[in-house]
């Protein structure tokens, strides 16, 4: 059997949920499980995070999966319904759609309303992606109140620079200035805001990445935040090549040995979700020791330098990221963020949970 395996730790998920709860204080917590729980498996994550106060997803399909699993907590649709045909299911499944655009209010107005609907009203406080303009708040709330028919309204915004030096204050102040007039519950904080800007916790927090044990910050690792990696991507060395000076490895012979070199071929490639653009030097653990990628990542394989690891050979265990090698470190070397690596884990990768 191909040795590539993604180990998903339920204990780490539970640990990180507890850490998020501790950071959230009295705020209630949406566990963000969009994108197949950031590549960890929606069903799996929903089981391990069963104590969350609610689950946040992107699509109706994901919400339906959660309801089929018997999830009774609120389920938040982070971008709401994309067209009017999705509205009946929001009632039937008891979902909480985000409403971020006047057109969505129009769809609701024109749809048959069966009972009450809790709504999240999203406002644009500076990220300029989704949300009503702040000066529209009064009008939007009035309109939504009529349409929700007694359902609960929550005011929401999203931070663009919670993980950076610019912080959240520049968005938080103008949002709160208006939102506080309405005495409605508020939901603002993603992982970065929750961890670094406790003043933004409000009533419902929305952590995602921290639940999976990765740091949202470029300058602080997950361990320093008290988080444990949930996904560990492991494989083995399936071949060893001895290279003479000047010989290269992989497509394009993009790396060449300056002196005699030993190179290990690892069963993991870009078709598994490992980033093809990861450059030589990207860290890889071989038998618990640090090594580095050499040459180009292929579809099913990649190569690592074994020159400093004479004990390593065929069958040596390899960690691509996770326990012992933070995913954010691999991501940074590859010019991306942990989110992208985790979400990109390919369906063909075997998963072991526990």
Ligand X SMILES: *Cc1c(COP(=O)(O)O)cnc(C)c1O
Contact residue for ligand X among 209, 243, 266, 297 (CB under 6 A): 209
Q: How many Cα atoms sit within 13 Å of 286 on the Cβ side?
A: 28
Q: Environment class of residue 110 by beta-carbon count within 10 Å: exposed (0-12), middle (13-18) or buried (19+)? A: exposed
Can residue 74 be called a binding residue for ligand X (CB under 6 A)?
no
By CB under 6 A, residue 229 contacts ligand X:
no
Is residue 154 near ligand X by the rule CB under 6 A?
no
Does 172 sit near ligand X (CB under 6 A)?
A: no
CA–CA separation, 97 and 80 (whole Å): 4
State which residue, 30 or 255, has the beta carbon closest to ligand X: 30
Separation between Cα atoms, residue 119 and residue 95, nearest integer Å: 9
Residue with CB nearest ligand X? 208
How far is it, in rounded angstroms, from Cα 158 to Cα 69? Answer: 29
Enumerate residues 260-289 that contact ligand X by CB under 6 A: none
Kindly state whether residue 206 participates in binding ligand X, applying the rule CB under 6 A: yes
**Looking at 26-103, which runs of residues are DSSP E strands?**
28-32, 54-57, 75-77, 95-99
Q: Of 74, 80, 97, 208, which one interacts with ligand X (CB under 6 A)? A: 208
> Closest CB to ligand X among 195 and 237?
195
* 34 labelled catalytic: yes
Q: Contact region for ligand X (CB under 6 A) — 63-71, 171-179, 208-216, 266-274?
A: 208-216
Q: Report if residue 202 touches ligand X, rule: CB under 6 A.
A: no
Q: Does 131 bind ligand X (CB under 6 A)?
A: no
Q: Does 213 bind ligand X (CB under 6 A)?
A: no
Q: Taking the complex as a whole, how short is the minimal distance between the CB of residue 195 and ligand X, in angstroms? A: 9
Q: Of the candidates 24, 37, 28, 1, which has an alpha carbon nearest to the alpha carbon of residue 353? A: 37
Q: At closest approach, how far in Å is the CB of 205 from ligand X?
A: 9
- Give the residues across from 265 on adjacent strands: 239, 303
Query: In the complex, what is the shortest distance from the CB of residue 244 to ligand X, in angstroms, rounded to a whole number?
Result: 47
b/e 286-296 (16+ beta carbons within 10 angstroms → b): bbeeebbbbbb
Rounded-to-integer distance, Cα 232 and Cα 281, Å: 20
Spot the catalytic one: 38, 212, 251, 270: 251
List 16, 190, 291, 316, residue binding ligand X (CB under 6 A): 190
Q: Is 97 in the site for ligand X (CB under 6 A)?
A: no
How many CA atoms within 13 Å lie on the side-chain side of 188? 31
Size of the site for ligand X (CB under 6 A): 12
CB of 212 to ligand X, least distance (A): 8
Residue of 213, 168, 202, 182 lying closest to 28 (CA atoms):
202
One residue of 13, 32, 37, 222 binding ligand X per CB under 6 A: 32
d(CA 320, CA 298): 15
Contact yes or no for 271/348 (Cβ under 8 A): yes
Is residue 216 involved in binding ligand X (CB under 6 A)?
yes
Catalytic residue among 34, 38, 122, 339: 34
195 binds ligand X (CB under 6 A): no
Residues marked active site are found at 34, 251
Binding site for ligand X (CB under 6 A): 32, 34, 78, 158, 190-192, 206-209, 216
């Amino acid at each position: 059997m191909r040795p590539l395996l993604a180990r998903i730790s339920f204990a780490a998920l539970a640990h990180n949920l507890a850490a998020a709860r501790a950071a959230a204080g009295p705020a209630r917590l949406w566990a963000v499980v969009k994108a197949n729980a950031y590549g960890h498996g929606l069903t799996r994550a929903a089981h391990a995070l069963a104590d969350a106060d609610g689950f946040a997803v992107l699509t109706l399909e994901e919400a339906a999966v959660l309801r089929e699993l018997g999830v009774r907590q609120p389920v938040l649709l982070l971008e709401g319904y994309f067209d009017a045909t999705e509205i009946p299911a929001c009632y039937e499944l008891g979902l909480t759609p985000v409403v971020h655009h006047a057109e969505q209010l129009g769809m609701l107005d024109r749809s048959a309303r069966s009972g009450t609907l809790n709504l999240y009203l999203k406002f644009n406080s500076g990220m300029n992606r989704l949300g009503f303009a702040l000066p529209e708040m009064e009008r939007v709330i009035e309109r939504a109140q009529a349409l929700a028919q007694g359902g609960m309204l929550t005011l929401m915004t999203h931070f663009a620079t919670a993980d950076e030096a610019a912080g959240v204050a520049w968005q938080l102040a103008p949002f709160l200035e208006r939102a506080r007039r309405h005495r409605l519950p508020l939901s603002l904080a993603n992982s970065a805001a929750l961890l670094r800007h406790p003043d933004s916790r409000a009533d419902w927090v929305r952590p995602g990445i921290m639940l999976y044990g990765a740091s949202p910050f470029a300058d602080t690792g997950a361990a320093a935040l008290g988080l444990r990696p949930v996904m560990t991507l492991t494989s083995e060395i399936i071949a060893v090549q001895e290279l003479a000076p000047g010989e290269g490895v992989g497509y394009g012979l993009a790396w060449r040995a300056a002196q005699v070199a030993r190179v290990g071929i690892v069963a993991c490639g870009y078709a598994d979700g490992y980033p093809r653009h990861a450059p030589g030097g990207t860290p890889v653990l071989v038998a618990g020791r640090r090594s580095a990628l050499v040459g180009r990542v292929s579809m099913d394989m990649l190569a690592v330098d074994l020159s400093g690891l004479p004990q390593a050979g065929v069958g040596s265990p390899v960690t691509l990221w996770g326990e012992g090698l933070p995913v954010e470190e691999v991501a940074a070397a590859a010019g991306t963020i942990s989110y992208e690596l985790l979400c990109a884990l390919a369906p063909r990768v075997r998963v072991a949970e526990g």
